[in-house]
Structure 1
């Protein structure tokens, strides 16, 4: 298994080098959003400074307002709600104007957050995928025809509609052009203004059991947890991530998560890669465990 960092209190000399940014509570803007209170408390207990951003302001494009209460002259790691790549870039710029360097820059965030950014590096570990650069039906037909026949799963660059599986995610047979487009059209409709990039078509692979989430910092796996959707189904002891190390190192991502599932033939496969800053922590993992793993790195 890949190297996993031990939990425990982190040396103060390292902690002073990084600040953690959390979203503020919408109704009580001087407090951390309730979803992240445990992590913020763990960070403070470890001696790590914490600051608040206005996520709603960042999401609507007012990055300067979003970071108005963030002190300057430090390096920061964000732990909060998902932002589109463009909005994260604006946040990065607004923080830089205050003398704050996000440890994950805008290019790195997009590389982790959007499948086309990470697919080439992990293509040997994940289902074959092709994608469009928009939502035009003609572009979708080109991708569909190139993949040929057989079942497939759809998503956009950053998210699927898996909770609408038969309606907007799963295509029983790519050879059925009308059915395939119907599923793609519904996925695009449901994603609406939140759709990122274009339509990604991934060959379907049958998985068994719950997914596992691995947390990678500077190319090294520091923590393996359950997936947030199945928090009490812990990863098995035989989950070996060693083969992923070179690929994750090549991606050069400061903080990322990799979700894996066991294929029906027993092979572990990458289902998703995401930016660790906006990846949810499962309820079964104490906040101290994640925060200490993150801070141990020494940014």
Structure 2
């Protein structure tokens, strides 16, 4: 069955953002059940969030959850004899960059990270990455819409300027800051991003990125053996073309909480 968030004001209906996907799933013969995202995102709220879900096997399509809240979700569902296709450990591995980086290091920018937000650890990471430009994020998210103030570091060798970017990033992420700082070597990309969808190691859909839903570059990615070899049941992988003509991985994500571009029909989304 498909699990989607319920509407906040009309809890017996799907959230409008996922209603079309729920309809498409029903048309494809799947059952659809609703979960309370607000309760799900609250510590101790998972059992209340899933109280209307019947027993069975399930895949989730909904708003992003932290790894800890997803683990609570998984446990609460198991108490109701519901088994999510993606386990809590698999979700964390796809959702947080340190979980997937080692396996995909050859096709993605060089990356270092810290545990926590201490300045000393950040400066040590800058030294490990080495001089030059970098892009800053945490384990799950960047602040790319605040590019010059909270994402792009012109030269990590200038640790004072780099820490100013990191401090602004911390301020913007606030309580959503996850894991630690992640510094990725800046590479110059010359295309829009491509979002690929993978089910059980097979690329089932190549489409645009949600930020540029009407712009799909011509992509011959040639990375099936790497992404497909992760052993993860449902993931997305975003790619962009580097200036030297090589496709590079920008981000891996859990497919359950990756946004569907509005230009991709909901019935094309690979859920099974």
Q: What is aligned with 1:75?
A: 57
The Cα RMSD (Å) is 0.8
Cα deviations by residue, 1:97-116 (Å, 9 ceiling, x for unpaired): 00000000000000000000
SS in 2 for 1:209: coil
Task: Give 5+ residue unaligned stretches, structure 2.
Answer: none
Aligned: 1:248 with 2:231: no
**CA separation in 2, counterparts of 1:294 and 1:106?**
18
Matches within 5 A, 1:95-134: 95-134=77-116
Aligned with residue 281 of structure 1, among 242, 250, 260? 260
TM-score relative to the length of structure 1: 0.89
Aligned with residue 94 of structure 1, among 38, 63, 76? 76
**CA separation in 2, counterparts of 1:209 and 1:271?**
12
Task: Give 5+ residue unaligned stretches, structure 1.
Answer: 1-18
Shift of 1:175: 1.2
Q: What is aligned with 1:154?
A: 136
Aligned residue pair count? 271
SS in 2 for 1:28: coil
Shift of 1:248: 2.1
Cα deviations by residue, 1:15-62 (Å, 9 ceiling, x for unpaired): xxxx00000000100000000111000001111000000001000120
**CA separation in 2, counterparts of 1:162 and 1:66?**
32
**CA separation in 2, counterparts of 1:170 and 1:282?**
25
SS in 2 for 1:208: coil
Shift of 1:66: 0.4
**CA separation in 2, counterparts of 1:181 and 1:56?**
34
Aligned with residue 258 of structure 1, among 237, 244, 249? 237
Shift of 1:178: 0.5
Shift of 1:209: 2.0
Q: What is aligned with 1:27?
A: 9
Shift of 1:235: 3.1
TM-score relative to the length of structure 2: 0.98
Contact 1:224 1:235 in 2 (8 A): no
**CA separation in 2, counterparts of 1:185 and 1:218?**
39
SS in 1 for 2:190: strand
Question: Any runs of at least 4 consecutive aligned residues in structure 1 with deviations exceeding 6 A, and if so which?
Answer: none
Aligned: 1:47 with 2:29: yes
Aligned with residue 180 of structure 1, among 162, 169, 181? 162
**CA separation in 2, counterparts of 1:214 and 1:288?**
16
**CA separation in 1, counterparts of 2:58 and 2:129?**
42
**CA separation in 1, counterparts of 2:255 and 2:129?**
31
Shift of 1:165: 0.4
